[in-house]
Structure 1
Amino acid sequence: MPTPLTLAWHGDELLDGGLRELLCGPGAMFERRVEDVLGAPAEVFAQRAPHVPAMLAGAASGTPDQTYLAFADAPDRAVTFAEAHRLAAAYAHVLATGYGIGKGDRVAVAAPNGLEHILLWWGTLSLGAIMVGLNGWWTPGELDHGIGLTGPSALFGSGKPLVRLAETRAAAEGVPVVSLDELHAAALALEDPPAALPDAGIHEDDPAAIMFTSGTTGRPKGATMSHRNFVHFGLFGGLGGAVAALTGPPGRRQVPESVQRASVFANPLFHVSGACLALANAPLFALKLVLPPPGRWDAEAALKLTHDHGLTQWTGVPTHFWQMLTHPRFAEYDTSRVVTIGSGGATFAPELLRLFEEKLPGVAITNGYGMTETTGTGTFLNGREMDGHPASVGAAAPTIWVQVRDEDGNPLPEGEVGRVHISGAGVFLGYWGDEKATAEALTPDRWYRSSDFGRIEDGVLYLESRMRDLIIRGGENVYPIEIEYRLVEHPGIADACVIGVPHTVLGQEVKAVVVPRDGASLTEREVRDWVAAALAPFKVPAHVEFRDALPYNETGKVIKRLLEDPPAAGQGHAI
């Protein structure tokens, strides 16, 4: 009988003894050990900060004059870590004295990314209160769902989200709705502002934030994240990046010691990728975050930010990278300092990897697989795994354990498809106010039971598809991701998504929604023939629809339920 598999990280074994001791030895930043976490064993970092506010205090002490925040629309303005610490302490004072916020209270915010928004997070967490990150694009009715679930003591916002907050049922019932500008002015007006963040007696397993799941199907649930989750995110990513840099091939790009690392800050704060970047990665590693100009993401604007601010890393989804690398003015901008590419939520097509090598030779590419409930942690695809298993989502990330289990919870052997389970210090506390959903998502020994199907082969995880995306055609299981991989390798296809559509006899048929490249002329027959040349006949799309763009949510995932409806005007046409 084959042995059940558990993926675990062994990346430091690639280092020589001296480097391993320097990075991971006793007293080193990335020293690891197994501890009890909420009743279950987990590998943790021994030298971790005790809670989130301690990371900002550490940056204010260790790198006080390094830039924390820069602004594309105000190039002469910058906020250092010391200044952010001072302002966060003032925010905490105003929140406590002006709004009665204390440990365990919820503070909700709906706003674009910005200085005041980030400072609200720091002020709230330093009081031991819980940040509720509301999606800034939600309607008043959707906002009411998040507010009603979490019961915040105050609602903060700016711009259009502030207007929608004022239209909610909670506002009508008397929950204070406050402009972030008003909060900022009150913090600046303090006659005797505090010099340090308050001591709220925070434990690392206290809740820090409630972050709503993407909501591509059903109503979003409030994933409750702990202080430990955020601290762990910064350290596991730092260790993985350090080992990748030290073990990469000759010619790998490096950041000069005299240059501060810098990244654009485009991911929304109400999502783990944005919040963890601002609250963990930046203070832990003195990372400068550049806030882009307001408005929709634009490829040339991203290239200009790279040029003007000397960005050392790009983060985004594959669609962003396609548009930047193929932009007609790409060569006019200096991208020489970009050393790392980071992504998650969607896979890299082989053609995109070839394009990176052509346009940014020597850059290190990492694609992460995780979810809100695991603070974005799960597996890493980079280096050797990306070269040898490009269709996988990689090996286990540092300190993370991954298993594939059957529906009875039994770990499966190599090659067998089952439900992906993830364990580690990044696993969330549970769903706020929903014990039933929490019990369904977390096993008694705190493994997160994901909604993804996958299999383990050769030390890496392959995703078959999300359970809700599985297409069952005449009794055959069809995993859309395999067809999507094939479609985007076509030279005339810029983006593609595969869904199932009802069929009277077969149950479901395969439908491909395709975005052609500019200037490309495609027919349904050409698309079908391209898939048929590589995949089994039952995987060939019976239907092909052409659109100008796919509907993505704010985290870079295609909202497949919107593809089940006829395209709106200007969104393409069906064949």
Structure 2
Amino acid sequence: MTETATTPVTLTWHADERLGDDLRALLCGPGGPFERRVEPVLGVPTEVFAQRAPNVPAVLKGAVERTPDLTYLAFADGPGRGFTYAQVLQLAAAHAEVLATRYGVGKGDRVAIAAANGLEHVLTIWATVSLGAVVVGLNGWWTPDELDHGIALTDPAVVLGAGKPLTRLRQTRAASSAVSLEELYEAATSLADPPATLPDVEIDEDDPAAIMFTSGTTGRPKGATLSHRNFVHFGMFGGLGGAVAALLGAGGRQVPPGVQRASICSNPLFHVSGVCVVLCNSPMYGIKLVFPPQGRWDAEAALRLTHEHKLTQWTGVPTHFWRMLTHPGFERYDTSQVTTIGSGGATFAPELLRLFEEKMPGIQITNGYGMTETTGTGTFLNGREMDGHPASVGAAAPTIKVQVRDPDGRPLPEGEVGEVHISGAGVFLGYWRDPEATAKVLTGDRWYRSGDYGRITGGVLYLESRMRDLIIRGGENIYPIEIEYRLVEHPDIHDAAVIGVPHTILGQEVKAFVVPRRGAELTEQQIRDWVAVSLASFKVPAHVEFRTELPYNETGKVIKRQLESG
């Protein structure tokens, strides 16, 4: 249909239509791995993948049936730290046994985890979802006060942690009941008669699987509740999109036949970007996940793992890639086997794309736009779209619909700016125990109001602004209001405002504008120390500017545009 200037536009995925008929039928035709059809999802007709796993545990079971001895997880923190799909299933089953018998975890219960990435963390996630329980991903960098909020909201049956996050858990109201992940692992591996497979629990695909926290515009983070369906479809979105992009690609790097795909797993498991890769992408497509050493992310360690494990793909945020490509030792490591780059959460600067072409020619780059509430899925940019529309965030992902709407919720025609709305099987169930917040972002027919503003032009989405106040620092979403609330609690601060300022590597950094109370004397370090007491380190202002007053408009709102322009 020819669009006119007034015809509302809906972005949908059509990349498979560029394939030959035989190939398209093999992939997407009846009985094909990516066959699609319309079914009711929570009462709303929705395009779904027909040949999908019924729930998340079935994904792991399927991987074990296909390739039991293929390496699934590899760790850099010790020799021989590699685990096959069959080994992970057996260990996860033992963990589920301990969670059920020792801690009384059953279907629908919440299991909260605050920890860095690690084997015990992965096994506990699998054990939890296999019981029909709900993983609560507590941010490992949160302060005790922030952890208390997440625990109080979700009321978990058990709270687990490791390392520094466990230390902070033991400063919360849940201190007496916090359990070490290592203790759980020891109990699971000491069972006299461990189960051979995952527990037999009836799990509907629209049952909740995880609660992932997302920074809220009203201060405290909200718990976005993701279903088994959400996770299963995430893996299938990426599988189909990647397969078609590879088939349509002109040349470029390719994984040789018979070589296992392998990826570094640097995104934290309390983020949707990390947990989806572990639960979906890897077991669905036989990808080995290599975990860097725990602690601060290190570019040289990532390059060394790329060399040693013959990684075929990198996933992360642009900050990671900047640091690897500009590392002085880059040339010492073999990166020639890396064929694809996968990212999301921040745009690729033109300079970064040029650097990839210079140092890793032929690499295939995919960048996604989505959010926790859509299981990280919305649009993606790769291949032709990246070449032809480098400033956009791409076309709709498979089975996803994207519209730009006016303030009254009416879809807008091409080229007009409005709020981005997303629908599909990846849209979350809602915010945990917060129906009011859920109603503000989910329409009656389950379109998610993103709060981002953009326009659709030429079959792709362009963002005009990502929620005016949102700061994206190294892939972390930060809402200034939370920091502002903390600042004005200081007895010597009269007023405060927070914005994001550009940073070459991190994308953005936090900057605070502070108005001291009359007669008070404050230093930048005092401001940082005050924020650090209650908020995670990535929210602490890197820059502080003192002012005598802040600019306000006639409705009493701070005019942040003036602060941004200096």
Q: In which range does the TM-score fall when normalised by the shorter chain?
A: 0.7 to 0.9
Alpha-carbon contact 1:9-1:395 (below 8 Å) kept: yes
Contact 1:148 1:170 in 2 (8 A): no
**Alignment of 1:177 onto 2:178:** yes
Deviations along 1:192-222, one digit per CA (max 9) or x if unpaired, are: 1111111111000000010000458721000
Counterpart-to-counterpart distance in 1, 2:417 and 2:543: 27
Between stretches 369-378 and 91-100, larger displacement belongs to: 91-100
What is the match of residue 64 of structure 2? 60
**1:328: which partner in 2?**
328
List aligned pairs for 1:75-90, cutoff 5 A: 75-90=79-94
Partner of 1:117: 121
Query: How many angstroms apart in 1 are the aligned matches of 2:341 and 2:333?
Result: 17
Count of matched residue pairs: 495
Q: Distance in 2 between matches of 1:131 and 1:511?
A: 32
Preserved CA contact (<8 Å) 2:469 2:499:
no
Q: How do 1:123-134 and structure 2 match up within 5 A?
A: 123-134=127-138
1:565 to 537, 544, 554: 544
| Structure 1 counterpart SS, 2:455 | strand
1:566, distance to aligned residue in structure 2 (A): 3.7
Correspondence for 1:42 = 46
Asked whether 1:5 is paired with 2:5, we answer no
Q: In structure 1, what is the Cα distance between the partners aligned to 2:247 and 2:282?
A: 21
What residue is the counterpart of 1:281 in the other structure? 281
Aligned counterpart, 1:422:
422
Aligned-pair CA distance for 1:301: 1.4
Equivalent pair of 2:117/2:294 in contact (CA under 8 Å)? no
Note the alpha carbon deviations across 1:52-76, whole angstroms, 9 max, x for none: 0001111111110000111112242
- Alignment match, 2:458: 458
1:259-270 matched pairs, under 5 angstroms:
259-270=259-270
Cα contact 1:216–1:559 (8 A) shared by 2: no
5 Å-filtered alignment, 1:501-540, equals: 513-515=501-503
TM-score (norm 2): 0.83
1:210 aligns to what?
211
CA RMSD, 1 decimal: 2.6
Letter in 1 for 2:208: P
After superposing on structure 2, the runs of 4+ consecutive aligned residues of structure 1 that deviate more than 3 Å are: 214-217, 509-517, 558-567
| Matching residue's letter, 1:417 | V
SS across alignment from 1:169: coil
Q: Decide whether aligned partners of structure 1 residues 242 and 159 sit closer, same or farther in structure 2, where only a CA change above 3 A counts.
A: same
Counterparts in 2 of 1:120 and 1:385: CA distance versus 1, 3 Å: same
Give the 3 Å change call, closer, same or farther, for CA 206–314 of structure 1 in structure 2.
Answer: same
Are residues 566 and 194 of structure 1, via their aligned partners in 2, closer, same or farther at CA, if it must alter by over 3 Å? same
What's 2:341 paired with? Answer: 341
Point out the more displaced range, 325-334 or 3-12. Answer: 325-334
Is the CA contact (8 Å cut-off) linking 1:102 and 1:129 kept in structure 2? yes
Q: Does 1:29 align with 2:25?
A: no
Q: Secondary structure at the match of 2:341?
A: strand
State percent identity of aligned pairs.
72
1:96 counterpart = 2:100: yes
- Aligned with residue 147 of structure 2, among 143, 148, 159: 143
Q: In structure 2, what is the Cα distance between the partners aligned to 1:511 and 1:121? A: 35
Query: Aligned letter for 1:185?
Result: E
Q: What does residue 439 of structure 1 align with?
A: 439
> Post-superposition shift, 1:296?
1.0
Any idea what SS the aligned residue of 2:468 has? helix
Q: Which amino acid aligns with 1:268?
A: P
1:563 is displaced (CA, Å) by 6.2
8 A contact 1:452–1:467 mirrored in 2: yes
Residue 393 of structure 1, CA deviation? 0.3
Q: CA deviation at 1:249?
A: 1.0
Confirm or deny: 8 A CA contact 1:216 1:561 kept in the other structure: no
Give the Cα separation in 1 of the matches to 2:189 and 2:469. Answer: 50
Q: What are the residue-to-residue correspondences of 1:241-260 with 2, within 5 Å?
A: 241-250=242-251, 252-260=252-260
Counterpart for residue 413 of structure 1? 413
TM-superposed deviation, 1:466: 2.2
Q: Aligned partners of 1:566 and 1:167: how far apart in 2?
A: 32
2:18 counterpart (6, 11, 14): 14
Q: Distance in 2 between matches of 1:303 and 1:145?
A: 37
3-state SS of paired residue (2:174):
helix
Deviation of residue 19 (structure 1)? 1.0
In 2, Cα distance between equivalents of 1:560 and 1:127 = 35
Distance 1:510 1:107, change over 3 A: closer
In structure 1, runs of 5+ residues without a counterpart are 471-479, 485-496, 500-508, 518-557, 568-573
Structure 1 position 369, deviation (Å): 0.2
Provide TM-score, normalisation by structure 1: 0.82
